[in-house]
């Protein structure tokens, strides 16, 4: 099954319980803004 979720409603539980996660570049940017940029 395929589940779609807007980036602003995505949570860690959704990310961890699925084998694969596909995100657009814009969705990644939104998640980075919500949860902070990755370090490095």
Q: Which domain holds residue 32?
A: 1-40
Task: Using the predicted structure, report yes or no on whether residue 25 has a pLDDT greater than 90.
Answer: yes
pLDDT value, residue 29: 92
pLDDT value, residue 39: 60
Helices (H) and strands (E) in the chain, counts: 2, 0
> Could you give the number of structural domains in the chain?
1
pLDDT value, residue 1: 84
Model pTM score: 0.68
Are 8 and 33 within 8 A, CB to CB?
A: no
């Amino acid at each position: 099954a395929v589940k779609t979720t807007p980036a602003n409603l995505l949570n860690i539980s959704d990310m961890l319980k699925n084998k694969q996660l596909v995100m657009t570049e814009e969705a990644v940017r939104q998640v980075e803004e919500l949860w902070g940029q990755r370090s490095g």
